[in-house]
Amino acid sequence: MFKRTVSAEDLARLKQRSDKASAAYTHAILELEKGIQQFDGVPSPPPPYDEHQLPALNERWDILSQPDFTGWRRGIGWLVQKTVGGLFDRQRAFNSAVVDHLNRNVAGQQGLRESATDIVGELAKIIHVQSKLILFAQALSPFIDTRDREVSGLMRRINEDVAVVNAGLAGTVTGVADELRKRWETTLARERRLEGQMDDLRATSAVAHQVAQTLKREIGRVAAAPDSSTASESTSSSSTSSDPVDSYKYVGFEDLFRGSQDDIRTRLESYLPYFEGAADVLDVGCGRGEFLELLRDHGIGARGIDINHEMVEQCRARGLTVDEADLRSHLTALPDGSLGGLFAAQVVEHLEPAYLLEVLDVAYHRLRPGSTVILETINVASWSAFFQSYIRDITHVRPLHPDTLRYLVTASGFQRVEVVYRSPSPAQDRLEALTGFVPDPEKPGGLNDLVVAFNENVEKLNRLMFSDQDYAVIGRRM
């Protein structure tokens, strides 16, 4: 099954992160532009140091140097020096200090100008780099957007190409699938016809096998009889039994419609607790002997009776104690209190009302106190059970409603009588109520009432048509 690796929450989270990153990028560009705009222009380097007067100052700073006077000038010079010589000494010292200071600052001023010139040059380089950087940052966003659009276009193109390929493949696959479906339907129809033919063949084969076994057994029994009069006498004494030669037909009917022996054993297992610790249990109409086998496997002594000769022979072949006898005649011949339980599954619907009433009265006396009687039959109160299971069997005589059979058992003297329903109808057979619509009790009428009425009627029809398929009336001989 396909599973997405990116959910809607993941996409929303990625979109939020993208928007946040885009806002941060725009803010950084603006801040960078502000930083560069702070420089109004690169300042010029300082002018060179003015050394024009330094030679003259170095030459003329000493104002007291001795002039070359002769004659009377020498005398006057000596007199002037004697009078104001102190002042000229101080002036000479000042001039010396100033000239020395100027000479000492020449190298420093020259170095300062060179440094300032270098700084201005580097500053110009920084401004140039920052200008290029802002241009790069401004060009980066359109570049990324362009690449995204290119990738998006390529992805759309790929998706369209994939869609075209898929459409072509879908058409091809659809054509192949239609052809395969037609061939499969043809093969399935042919297989169903063959299955139907095989089912008919198996049924015919099973009936033929049962006929052969019955004829073989009856021919053997006739051949073993001393004379023909004995055989005719045996036949007349079983006038209430089914024709031994035709009894195989009902066995085939049971196999086809009632279910396999394993299925019947599973269905009848729930009756075992009612006979726990009992002995001398009589299984009336034991059929193929499923319940007799269950009783035997659980250590409960029991025997069975049935009027169908073929079923009796099948039970005896499996080592079960079974008599071919009529129910009323068999019960009448037993002494009172000789039975520890009586079980009859799918039998009472085969009996006439007067016959059933007489059998119930006799059975009450033949059962020991504390023993249990169980009569299972088709639940004719369920329409599906009546129109399928009951009507299908031509040997059924009279349908018995659960209330009717419970009353008859109670009227015969049994106590603690209860009705247990069994075999629920399959869920797929029941009518379905409307779902997905919740009626609003605060808004009655209209669609609300229609849905409620529809669902209530569906439930009523399910109770009438598809309730439990069988039921058992269980009573105790107190």
Note whether 354 and 458 are same-domain residues.
yes
Could you say which of 140, 165, 190 is where a domain stops?
165
Buried-state track 46-58, b at ≥16 Cβ within 10 A, e below 16: eeebeeeeeeeee
pLDDT, position 379: 95
Parallel, antiparallel, or unpaired for β 302-306 and 339-345? unpaired
CATH number of the domain bearing residue 440: 3.40.50.150
Separation of alpha carbons 391 and 375, rounded Å? 19
Note whether 269 and 408 are same-domain residues.
yes
Let me know if residue 432 belongs to a domain: yes
Q: What value, to the nearest 5°, has the Cα angle with vertex 402 and ends 242 and 373?
A: 65
The answer to whether the beta carbons of residues 284 and 324 sit under 8 Å apart is no
Sign (positive or negative) of CA dihedral 24, 25, 31, 34 = negative
Residue 121: closest CA among 219, 208, 236, 43: 43
Separation of alpha carbons 140 and 407, rounded Å? 98
Could you say which of 101, 134, 165 is where a domain stops?
165
Let me know if residue 140 belongs to a domain: yes
Separation of alpha carbons 120 and 113, rounded Å? 10
Note whether 289 and 388 are same-domain residues.
yes
Buried-state track 80-95, b at ≥16 Cβ within 10 A, e below 16: eeeeeeeeeeeeeeeb
Separation of alpha carbons 469 and 420, rounded Å? 11
Beta bridge partners of 281: 302, 341
DSSP letters spanning 32-81: HHHHHHT---PPPPPPPP--TTHHHHHHH--TTPPP---THHHHHHHHHH
The answer to whether the beta carbons of residues 248 and 207 sit under 8 Å apart is yes
Note whether 260 and 161 are same-domain residues.
no
The answer to whether the beta carbons of residues 315 and 304 sit under 8 Å apart is yes
Write out the chain's pLDDT in tens, 478 residues: 445 666 778 778 877 888 888 888 788 777 777 766 555 666 677 787 777 787 877 777 776 665 555 667 767 766 766 777 677 777 778 888 888 888 888 788 778 878 888 887 777 777 777 777 777 777 776 767 666 666 666 666 776 666 666 676 767 777 788 888 888 888 888 878 777 667 656 655 555 555 555 555 666 666 666 554 433 333 333 333 455 545 544 555 555 556 678 888 999 999 999 999 999 999 999 999 999 999 999 999 999 999 998 889 989 999 999 999 999 999 999 999 999 999 999 999 999 999 999 999 999 999 999 999 999 999 999 998 888 888 888 889 999 999 999 999 999 999 999 999 999 988 888 888 888 777 676 766 777 778 878 888 988 998 888 889 999 999 999 9
pLDDT, position 255: 53
Name the token pair of 400. Answer: 């018995």
Note whether 146 and 268 are same-domain residues.
no
Question: Which residues are within 8 A (CB) of 372 and not within 5 positions of it... i.e. 6 or more apart?
Answer: 274, 275, 278, 341, 342, 474, 475, 476, 477
Separation of alpha carbons 388 and 188, rounded Å? 28
Beta bridge partners of 48: none
Let me know if residue 104 belongs to a domain: yes
Report which DSSP code applies to 325. Answer: -
Parallel, antiparallel, or unpaired for β 322-324 and 302-306? parallel
CA 2 to mean position of chain CA atoms: 14
Note whether 304 and 159 are same-domain residues.
no
Note whether 132 and 278 are same-domain residues.
no
Separation of alpha carbons 262 and 163, rounded Å? 57
- How are strands ordered across the β-sheet holding 470-476? 322-324, 302-306, 281-284, 339-345, 367-378, 470-476, 415-422
Let me know if residue 226 belongs to a domain: no
**What pTM, to 2 d.p., does this model score?**
0.50
Could you say which of 165, 185, 213 is where a domain stops?
165
The answer to whether the beta carbons of residues 471 and 402 sit under 8 Å apart is yes
Let me know if residue 22 belongs to a domain: yes
Separation of alpha carbons 311 and 35, rounded Å? 110
Tokens 């499996």 correspond to what residue?
318
CA 76 to mean position of chain CA atoms: 134
Separation of alpha carbons 211 and 223, rounded Å? 18
The number of C-alpha atoms within 13 Å of 208 and in the hemisphere containing its C-beta is 6
CA distances (Å), origin 51, targets 44, 48, 103, 112, 129: 21, 9, 9, 15, 37
Note whether 300 and 449 are same-domain residues.
yes
Number of domains into which the chain is organized? 2
Residue 287: closest CA among 315, 253, 259: 315
Separation of alpha carbons 206 and 210, rounded Å? 6
Domain residues for the domain of 81 are 18-40+51-165
Let me know if residue 400 belongs to a domain: yes
Let me know if residue 446 belongs to a domain: yes
Let me know if residue 406 belongs to a domain: yes
